[in-house]
Amino acid sequence: MPRNKKEAVVVLSGGQDSTTCLFWAKKRYEKVYAISFDYGQKHIKELECAKAITKKYDVEHYIMDLSLLNQLAPNSLTRADIKVDEDAPKVGTPNSFVDGRNMLFLSFVAVYVKQKNITDIITGVSQSDFSGYPDCRDVFIKSLNTTLNLAMDYEFQIITPLMWLDKKETWELAEELGVLEVIKNETLTCYNGIMGEGCGHCPACKLRKKGYDAFLNGKK
Ligand code: ZN
């Protein structure tokens, strides 16, 4: 059966990166689906953001239940009693890292897209700003892509538009796509669950603000 190259699935968390990828995909494909995961995030608002964005911009949205992930690996993004590290540790991964998350997410997405005869999976991971997350690195994505192809005898293509962009360049891309205001106001990146500009002091907010300031400076 010929593969469907006119459609793609975007992994959407409701944050800056994945939402930018959603609009990137909308420019390139005739039809874009979004898929999000419910893994017991403390801030269910993240999912609400994803829902609101897909509804407003007319994207078919599917939310998959992955609450199992939280049972397997308690972490600061899902457990109310674990506080998110404000600074990255010198050694090892930050406590906001969820073991196996991207591997599991992308594997489930692969099963889902194959049912639809789609090959293209788009994810907003970035090696430039990987914040100590090993599963955001290019080498991991390529390795998983090969594994998924072998596992299901299929030609998946995991596409990572932001892989080599830093946060400043991601803001530039949003502007290029004509969605700067959407990304600025309608996405949630903050670990403390505050929309738009966020709390201002968690690692995600710091990174987002640093990038945004650099973006503004670059325009002067
Ligand atoms: Zn924050």
Residue 58 domain boundaries: 4-218
- Report the alpha-carbon distance of residue 164 to residue 173 in Å, rounded: 12
Taking a C-beta distance cutoff of 8 angstroms, is the pair 51, 35 a contact?
no
- The pair of three-digit structure tokens given for residue 16, joined into one six-digit string: 């800056």
Question: How big, in percent rounded to 5, are the helix, strand and coil portions of the chain?
Answer: 45, 15, 40
- Report the alpha-carbon distance of residue 39 to residue 44 in Å, rounded: 10
Q: Count structural domains, the chain.
A: 1
What's the pLDDT score for residue 77?
Answer: 55
Residue 137 alpha carbon to ligand 1 centre in Å: 23
What's the pLDDT score for residue 79?
Answer: 58
Task: Give Cα 33 distance to the centre of its chain.
Answer: 14
- The pair of three-digit structure tokens given for residue 14, joined into one six-digit string: 């409701």
- The pair of three-digit structure tokens given for residue 208, joined into one six-digit string: 């987002």
- Report the alpha-carbon distance of residue 119 to residue 216 in Å, rounded: 36
What's the pLDDT score for residue 73?
Answer: 65
Taking a C-beta distance cutoff of 8 angstroms, is the pair 36, 47 a contact?
yes
- Report the alpha-carbon distance of residue 123 to residue 136 in Å, rounded: 10
What CATH number did the domain enclosing 56 receive? 3.40.50.620
What's the pLDDT score for residue 165?
Answer: 94
Residue 105 alpha carbon to ligand 1 centre in Å: 24
What's the pLDDT score for residue 33?
Answer: 98
Helices and strands of the chain, counted as H and E runs: 8, 5
Residue 184 alpha carbon to ligand 1 centre in Å: 14
Taking a C-beta distance cutoff of 8 angstroms, is the pair 127, 137 a contact?
yes
- The pair of three-digit structure tokens given for residue 46, joined into one six-digit string: 């993240």
Residue 6 alpha carbon to ligand 1 centre in Å: 37
What's the pLDDT score for residue 193?
Answer: 84
Residue 194 alpha carbon to ligand 1 centre in Å: 7
What's the pLDDT score for residue 94?
Answer: 62
What's the pLDDT score for residue 207?
Answer: 86
- Report the alpha-carbon distance of residue 203 to residue 192 in Å, rounded: 10
Residue 213 alpha carbon to ligand 1 centre in Å: 16
Mean pLDDT by 10 residues, the chain (220 residues): 85 95 97 92 81 97 86 62 58 67 94 96 87 86 98 97 94 97 93 86 88 90
Residue 87 alpha carbon to ligand 1 centre in Å: 12
Residue 154 alpha carbon to ligand 1 centre in Å: 39
